[in-house]
Amino acid sequence: MRPLLFQLPHLVASAALALLPATQAVAAACQAQSGTHRAALVQLFTSEGCSDCPPADARLDTLGNAASAQTGAIIPIALHVNYWDDQGWRDPFADPAYGDVQEWMVHATGGRVVYTPHFFINGTPLLDWRSRLDDLMNNATRQNAPAGVYVDATPQEGNKLTVSAKASGLKTDAQLRVAVVEGGLVSHVVAGENSGATLTHAHVVRALSPALSIHNDNPVQTTLAIPAATGKKVRVVAWLQNPQTAEVVQAVSTADCAR
């Protein structure tokens, strides 16, 4: 664990698709509806400049190969923070906004320190990810879903995606986050703590919406600009989150989408 010690002063369906024409298959792949059980949104805050992060990145990458991930029960995403960029290597996937999200989640869950690698399961921080990750994911996916979320993404010119989302069954205030997640990414690190390493990534957040207000049956829309294609797989992830406690009440992920 490599902490940065500072106070937090502010809140900062594959068979069916095979029968469709190509254009319809792409459209269907870019839509998703959450199920009757809760999904486990696994968020990892990480950095290519952190020597402790590659094992956590590798563990997150394996989640996409699990059977439960194929059914949408487990949704892994990696948010690369930029506060390691002054240690010799500038992470090409980092964004200051992701560090802001981490600070807010740490603060909302009663913490005072941000660090990498840092896992959250449905908004709950996980300190001992090596021994407790599977248990917390399994516990989350056994719960009935307290709400539902539907997402529909449409590619636009200029490396953009317009995403529409709708919530149902909400009984408390919630905010919506939408992320574009890319896989098949490779970095050859030439400086910093991981100098000489070749790092691969499967679930990197490449674009993230601000927190959007959402209410039952009232659709919201956001357009996200995506960096130029470097990987092989892009999908859209959306989640409903309690704005006070950071609890993720439900999440959903599309299959691979066209850029």
Measured CA to CA, the distance from residue 252 to residue 246 in angstroms comes to 17
3-class DSSP state for residue 128? Answer: coil
Q: Is residue 193 situated within a structural domain? A: yes
- pLDDT computed for residue 113 by the predictor: 94
Q: Is residue 28 situated within a structural domain? A: yes
Q: E strand or H helix at 104, and its extent?
A: helix 96-108
Here the CATH number for the domain that contains residue 170 is: 2.60.40.10
Measured CA to CA, the distance from residue 200 to residue 179 in angstroms comes to 19
Q: Is residue 15 situated within a structural domain? A: no
Tally of structural domains, the chain:
1
Question: What pTM, to 2 d.p., does this model score?
Answer: 0.88
Measured CA to CA, the distance from residue 99 to residue 143 in angstroms comes to 29
DSSP 87: G
- pLDDT computed for residue 172 by the predictor: 86
Domain span at residue 132 reads: 20-253
Q: Is residue 239 situated within a structural domain? A: yes
Q: Is residue 258 situated within a structural domain? A: no
Q: Is residue 162 situated within a structural domain? A: yes
Q: Is residue 10 situated within a structural domain? A: no
Largest CA distance in the chain: 55
Going residue by residue through the chain, which has 259 residues, state the pLDDT in tens, using 9 for 90 and above: 555 543 333 333 333 333 333 334 444 568 999 999 999 999 999 999 999 999 999 999 998 776 566 667 999 999 999 999 999 999 999 999 999 999 999 999 999 999 999 999 999 999 888 888 988 898 899 999 999 999 999 988 888 899 999 999 999 889 999 999 999 899 999 999 999 999 999 999 999 999 999 999 899 999 999 887 665 678 999 999 999 999 999 999 998 886 6
Q: Is residue 204 situated within a structural domain? A: yes
